[in-house]
Structure 1
Amino acid sequence: MMNNCFPQLPMKFRIYISVVAAMLAAGCADKGMTIEERLDTIQADTLFRIEADTMFSEAWEIRLWQPVDHRNPDGPRFSQQVFLYFAGKDRPVIVETEGYGAREGRNELASLMKANLIRIEHRYFEESRPDSAEWEYLTTWQAATDHHRIIELFKPVFSGKWATTGISKGGQTVMFHRYYYPEDVNVSVPYVAPLNFGPEDERMVPFFESVGTAECRDRVFRFQKLALEKFDQLFPIFLKYAGERGWTFNRVGGPETAYEMTVLEYEFAFWQWGSVPCDSIPLDGDDEKLFRHLADVGDPRYFADQGLEYFEPFFYQAMTEIGYYGYNFDRFAGLLKHARNSEQPEFQFSAPQGPDYVYDYGFGRKVAEYIREDAENFIFLYGEFDPWSATAADPGDNDKCLKVVKEGGSHRIRIMNLSDDRREEVLDRLEEWLDYPATR
């Protein structure tokens, strides 16, 4: 047995060989696991290949086992749906944290950076629901820990840098994950993500008093007022429309309430999506035309039992941690006969019935403080006319983050529909922070 590795060589050769050996060892360490080796070792309910988009060489759909309660890892589990798209182990990895269910499809950030993509369905939605809906485990920390665990599982496979991204509630999820696990990824890009401070965030009120032009705001209000004044003419059309689709309205308090709530929602939806020119809002014409416009913009299904069932997990979170908005009932005094402002948050009827709801008013402000003082390498994207910009994250003087607000933009804002100069600014930051060239 040799006690000296280099007994016959002069010192300078021993140093040289030691350096080479260290470099070889580092090379082996950098190699890490192959994607197949990683997939062979994870605990999954199901795992199978799916057809890969042309951007990727391989793709898989995975139902990954997760603890319902990460503080009790040996307790009940649920399977969380994950889509994995492989482009190359040396490329960046984009983790898309969905706020709801997950679907196959493209991701803007992965396309721009020619990156790998991991898309994660949010716990308690679609295929990722525990057998027993114990709502107390639907928290921002539990969801963030789902994402942390998945990132840790796949870190050994990839040598490129990591980014999280998501849209709307998915963007909220990006912020919350990074708040709890700031070192998990190098970059975060939340799109149109609100950071609410209450179940009915009051910052919405001044937003609707100043958004767009005075003429457009007035036209929106006049249409809402007309739709309430013509209740007797439009409500029968509403009933027929809902009946053809099999919708019921028990939770909201009946179809009459649902109709009035649709009128109240019209203002938010009009500005959020920006899909209807202001001068096309009808203020006269036949009743069918008026109702069709109301339904196209306000979407009555939002208040139907069938629509609310899907969004129950979201509204649980909205009433406990992540917040939402309410309506300005006072503007329509005397016109509302069924929808009523109450002491409870307006949308509590949409949340699971049974739990006692206590809102954590400190959580959103803690995340806001983290973003102002400690966050790094965030790119926040918002549309000026999107109501969620009223409760947007604000990095303030934190020059390690970038916030871009598209002039006149809506909830549909994307990097590629920014103005040329702002798009280049975003792409330059992505290239710098991910150390990889973007597609232009």
Structure 2
Amino acid sequence: MAVNGDSTPSEINEIKNLLWGPFVKEEVFKRWAQGFHFSKDEPTALEQEEGGPCAVLAPVQAFILKTILSKTVGNNWREVDQEGNTELLIRAVCDILCQVSNYNNGKFKIVRLNDCIRKGTSNHTNHHVSGTEAPVPEYIENSVNQRLQHDIFHSELRIFSYDSLEEVEAFYHQRLDDLTDTFGVLLFLYSVMCTKGLDAIRNEMNDPAEPFIDGTYGYGSQGLINLMITGRAVNHVWDHEQDVGGLKLRGVDKQSKVGFLALLEHLRYCEVGSFLKNPEFPVWVLGSETHLTVLFSFERQLVRPETPSEVARRVFKSFDPEGNNFIPNSDLSEVLRKLDLVSEPAYVDIMTKKLDPENLGIILLNAFMDEFFPEEKTSMPDTFVLYHYNGLRRSCPDGKVIYQEGQAVLLECDIQCVLESNPMLTCLQTKWPNIELQWSRGITPSLN
């Protein structure tokens, strides 16, 4: 049951500081002032008006696609009416809220604008609105800028509590404009943060003084992206935690529903772990230097359960937080135990001598894998169809936000060709090193 919303200025102020920092740049705030609305050319594809809010829009789009993939679909999966895409949107936002509610005893908090100001914000549903022309609340119609400034927006926010997901779903069905109106993306983001709990978010961030949204360009941080994708506001995309210069830096702690791939991984600026590369559904948010898009496929074998060798490699690396590809001999027993292999002391002694014949005190990853998991074969298909989504019309062929279809082939050769002129291919090679792609329109989709 909903609890009446209070202004709770301290909680709203904490959210504002975590998200924007001590100062909110009006220009950046305006770029985030958009609702969730679908492309007229692709009924289930969300449109993005300005740079910045892709940190929320792309994950929501990924969960929309996850819902589509969860159903039995035929050749008409792209033909969805308005009622159908409304259901997809509500299902997606509820999925994301569910992930963060697990950190708040299954409770939900929905952030809304005060009803007295909403009359000035309900000027569209399900169609494009300029991100620079936010509507004017009735009681400030005569203001100089003729738009809702960020300080007024924050002063008019109210927080409502709900005990169950069913109540949240019912709320969004009754008040869909909370998602589709001018501030829909921000209201949903604030709801995610409130539901998660601000203390929990701060505990997961490397530096709570670094805001989620860049104050100059409006880009979302990796912590914000991870919060939307996985429910955790950690700043890194590797599995578990790693020791970097004596600092324990936390990453993703379990397999996610949808995944993440990063263009910058090929430059070793980051390391995306197996939990994000191999999510439960074949849907990945793709990160370039400045934008987020989404890749997906109906080929479920692309995200098959981890093979024993993949599990072993991940467990071994959890004992190698610095990424040296070796562990001390003393950790071998625990690695074997976690993998449900023989870990009796006598056997461990024998294997230690075999894997470390020169008595260097370390066991190499390759030696370990060759001994316990030699030449394991996978059931990965050689060819499959991929689809790509980019929510910015200016980045799409003919200015139309539609899914771009491509035919993927996994080559047998071991030589990887990195083409700096093809960021899409370079990004996908971080998961499939030997992939080749032929896009149906002969145009490689843009990651930016």
Give TM-score, length-normalised by structure 2. Answer: 0.22
Larger RCO: 1 or 2 (CA < 8 Å, sep 6+):
2
Q: State the structure with more CA Rg.
A: 1
